[in-house]
Chain A
Amino acid sequence: MSRRVAVVVFPGSNCDADTLAAARDAGSDAYYVWHRDTDLQRADVVILPGGFSYGDYLRSGAIARFSPVMRAVVTHAREGGHVLGICNGFQILCEAGLLPGGLVRNARLRFLSRPVRVRVESTDTPFTSRYATGDVLEIPIAHGDGRYVVDPRTAAELEAGAQVVWRYAGDNPNGSTNDIAGVCNAARNVVGLMPHPERRVAPVIGGSDGTRVFQSMEASHATQHAGDVRAVGDRHLRV
């Protein structure tokens, strides 16, 4: 059975349609959830897409994190549900405290919209399991506030715990700490990244390097399903 994937739409989201299409292409049962909704409709996965929620007023993601839907997203995450934040979605997850650190103005100030090279640093997440560690991908960025910052102690913890999921390879476009492009939480069920994998899911739009993010998400269902069956004595119990 396909995974149910809720793509949250905030006022100002603009990557929601591409994200929905990428998830559906990977076989997911993806649908939109409006930011005012309080019900995720039995979602297995929640994706916060890119865009400029609330016009980035105050700080990117600062107001969106208080949208009614976010209460359900936080509950979903706390219960171990999978959550992916792309670009503005990553900013919102940081503002909501679901991911460590924060995203501030690019070091060279300019808004950057171009492909970058990112290296997969961890495949132990629901969104990277179909990659190999060390894979270098070409995926576009499109952000003004993409510089990931975190205090040195937390940065060391992220490195030690293999919570850095993607790192810019070669050129660091925005000055982010330790070239970080994406991280996960300690439980590894919440993942955020600045590049846009949904913009690289077919050769006709420039490449397919992002496809496996969505395939990983769909495949992690099978893994989770297998984990749900536990042998007790001579029987297999579904738990």
Chain B
Amino acid sequence: MTAYRVEVRVMPRATLLDPQGQAVERALHALGFEVGRVRVGKHLELDVEAANGEEAAARARAMCDRLLANPVTEDFAVAVRTA
């Protein structure tokens, strides 16, 4: 078994209005930064013991399906690295 750090990124669905992202975008413009569209999501770090990276990713995806992301409103992506 190997210790993995799984990073999960949960983002609001691209088709949905993201008012948080818009508010941050406006704040950045107000500060003089040049920036296009901003979207705000969540980042989770999971410490997982697994036989290999694929297994760690599969478990993290199962966690996303069940709890960490809502498929109606959010999309997720999983990245694995050794801890």
Which positions in A face B, CB cutoff 8 Å?
Answer: 58-59, 62-63, 66, 94-95, 100-102, 104-109, 147, 149-151, 175
By a CB distance below 8 angstroms, the chain B residues around A175 are 17, 19
By a CB distance below 8 angstroms, the chain B residues around A106 are 19
Name the distance in Å between B19's Cβ and chain A's nearest Cβ. Answer: 5
Q: How far is the CA of A102 from the CA of B71 in the complex (A)?
A: 9
Q: How far is the CA of A109 from the CA of B72 in the complex (A)?
A: 20
Q: Name the interface residues of B4-26: CB closer than 8 Å to any CB of A.
A: 12, 16-17, 19-20, 23
* Contact in complex: A94, B20 (CB < 8 Å): no
The interface size bin for chain B is: 10 to 19
Q: Is B73 an interface residue (CB 8 A)?
A: yes
* Contact in complex: A105, B72 (CB < 8 Å): no
* Contact in complex: A104, B67 (CB < 8 Å): no
Q: How far is the CA of A111 from the CA of B9 in the complex (A)?
A: 26
Q: Shortest 7 CB-CB distances between A and B: which pairs?
A: A102-B72, A102-B73, A109-B19, A104-B73, A107-B19, A102-B70, A59-B70
* Contact in complex: B19, A95 (CB < 8 Å): no
Name the distance in Å between B3's Cβ and chain A's nearest Cβ. Answer: 24
Q: How far is the CA of A45 from the CA of B48 in the complex (A)?
A: 41
Known A-B contacts A104-B12, A175-B17; the reply to A62 vs B72 at CB < 8 A is: no
Name the distance in Å between A111's Cβ and chain B's nearest Cβ. Answer: 13
Q: Is B68 an interface residue (CB 8 A)?
A: yes
Question: From B67, which residue of chain A is reached at the shortest CB distance?
Answer: A62
Point out the residue from B16, B17, B19, B70 that lies within 8 Å of A62, measured CB to CB: B70
By a CB distance below 8 angstroms, the chain B residues around A151 are 72
By a CB distance below 8 angstroms, the chain A residues around B70 are 59, 62, 95, 102
Which residue, B12, B23, B70, has most C-beta atoms of chain A within 10 A? B70
